[in-house]
Amino acid sequence: MPSLDHAYELTEKLNEEKIEYLVICIQKSKDSDNATYFLNVNDNTVPTLMKVIKDVLKDLERRLD
């Protein structure tokens, strides 16, 4: 499976810039897929993130139709 080194580097840079984030990495392999997420948000940002996640879920559901 590929390394997550780039994801770790990205989150380090986002932390340095004090940027809140949710990063999802999906690693595909012959036998299975694996997902890893990196999350750094303040409590007051949670409602915004939840709205975005709901929008993403709606988009993904449309893709399955």
Task: Say which residues have a Cβ less than 8 Å from residue 24's Cβ, sequence separation at least 6.
Answer: 35, 36, 37
Task: Say which residues have a Cβ less than 8 Å from residue 35's Cβ, sequence separation at least 6.
Answer: 24, 25, 26, 27
The reported pTM is: 0.83
β-bridge partners, 27: 34
Given a cut of 60, is residue 52 above it in pLDDT? yes
For 13-50, write each residue's pLDDT tens digit.
999 999 999 999 999 888 889 999 999 999 999 999 99
Name the nearest CA neighbour of 1 among 21, 26, 38, 37.
26
